[in-house]
Structure 1
């Protein structure tokens, strides 16, 4: 059975006396002030069946805290599993039971169950707390995207010129056909643009 919250923190959990350790402690305290968030995450994790016998699953609170750690440090699931094993500060934030050291697959399987609707509600609750505390106004957001390989060539000035000339020439040809064959004042510069691109 999956527990919802770790009622008592372990005496072995402590935060490093470092700037990042203090940030992690502030994050942990901020999450403590919003226990209602756990209900949202628990609803998403209910669909995952955890047996009553055998090893316990990650507590709901630990799943949420691990997800926030992953986003905060911008790490992969494999790196997150390492930090949870290696770092006392990460263990203190995650509030993992002492007998549980989650692997990459477990972290990925449980964290990915948190729905986008739940994340939206969490993102509405936490900035409101920061705004009330005078830490953040919540008026600016910074986004990051992931770059992936694609079959689009790297743009250069000459290739952009060639693409533009080629597409404009094609559009003029289509316009000429739609106008009933009337001559439009347009000359094709495709050869010259292609020559410049290839040189």
Structure 2
């Protein structure tokens, strides 16, 4: 069951209905993890802090009036399933692994939330013309920043912002990306990892 203090949920503005959906997610992930590797096995006992709250910390940064979100490399569903559980927005999941796609679809069904799971390799399959209009792009433990910006740029060209989970190498990634991109970004300290940040990218244009 949910071990997170109520004051944490209150601070993140997560309702009791959303917490109930997150409990379904945690239970389901534990069942599927026995058969496919959705998250690091060592982190399973600490799923609530390491994955669920780590994802939910995006919520205070999510713009108001959100209608649609794109999550790149959704994997085991973080932060995408947490956003689907707590937001009215339609979440688009991009994942190429068939087994993980099946998990995401089953999680959406059991949690009773809306979303679309796209089985695509972003670097090969997702042409800009086929991408839905979204207001937010997310990614967690998916790719270096310069690659993420390439995948996110078709969405951002239509006005979306990006929220990326990044670790202690964020400054090096920003420096590398700046060789090819003009970036307007803000680093927000992570509430679950002192060495990590949430990188809010407000604008990214290719070229110097």
TM over 0.5: no
In proportion to residue count, which structure has more strand? 2
TM-score, normalization by structure 1: 0.32
TM-score, normalization by structure 2: 0.31
In proportion to residue count, which structure has more helix? 1
